[in-house]
Amino acid sequence: MNNAPIALITGASRGIGAAIALKLAAEGFRLALVARNTVDLQAVADQTGLSAADCLCLVADLQQAAEIEKAAALCLEHFGRVDVLVNNAGIGHFGPIQNLTLAQLQAQLQLHVVAGWILSKAVLPQMLAQGNGLLVNILSDAARRPFAGGTAYCASKFAQDGMFRSLQDELKDSCIKISNIYPGLVNTYFNNKVPTAPQPHKLEAHEVAAVVWEVIGNGGSPAERHISRSH
């Protein structure tokens, strides 16, 4: 029987999520990977070197509550438990408020707040029953640092930050640990960009993944971690 720990990772088809998947696979985790793009998701699964039984690809649109709930249920059905939930999926729409749409605001709130809320609610009963569990949430320094052009994005990240910090207080006397990670600029596909050659002021996805592993290895400590490079 395989007792290797289970990590459920959202936004796992590329960027930070893919880097986290590869790092955790290398450290002996079994994985449930969630994203919309089937081809990219399978490519990451192949790169982990894990068998199909140990790396479950869950194609889901995290804008849809029913698909989020289904993905969580399939993960629990397949593995029987989740030891680490990594809420990583994210999108960004930026610009003057008059150029942004209500749909863009709602999409960011749905992905950053609602999806994380639903997934956390789905796995927590099982974590509490098994007597341990860890939620690692990839937020952004924009959760604490508002800026012009960020009315929609910062609103969603401030809300996400408040939600998970409230959950930390809610679970502080339980067996569940929560760690919130606040990266600065990261050289990824975020906001429809294409990764470039390394830049002095940007983090690389593997650097964020290394911090996630550090937090997991420390049992969820620290509860808050800010990572960035000076401009």
Full set of structural domains in the chain with CATH: 6-227 (3.40.50.720)
| Cβ pair 208, 227 in contact under 8 A | yes
pTM above 0.85, yes or no: yes
What region, left, alpha or beta, does residue 114 occupy, with left being phi > 0 and alpha being psi -120 to 50 degrees? alpha
3-state secondary structure of 82: coil
Q: How far is CA 12 from CA 16, 102, 110, 126, 139, in A?
A: 7, 27, 17, 22, 15
pLDDT in tens, the chain (231 residues): 588 999 999 999 999 999 999 999 999 999 999 999 999 999 999 999 999 999 999 999 999 999 999 999 999 999 999 999 999 999 999 999 999 999 999 999 999 999 999 999 999 999 999 999 999 999 999 999 999 999 999 999 999 999 999 999 999 999 999 999 999 887 655 555 554 555 656 788 999 999 999 999 999 999 999 987 654
Pull the structure tokens for residue 22: 């590869």
DSSP-derived secondary structure for 22-53: HHHHHTT-EEEEEES-HHHHHHHHHHHT--TT
Per the CB < 8 A criterion, the answer to whether 30 and 6 are in contact is yes
Instruction: Decide if 33 contacts 44 (C-beta within 8 A).
Output: yes
What are the residue numbers of the active site? 153
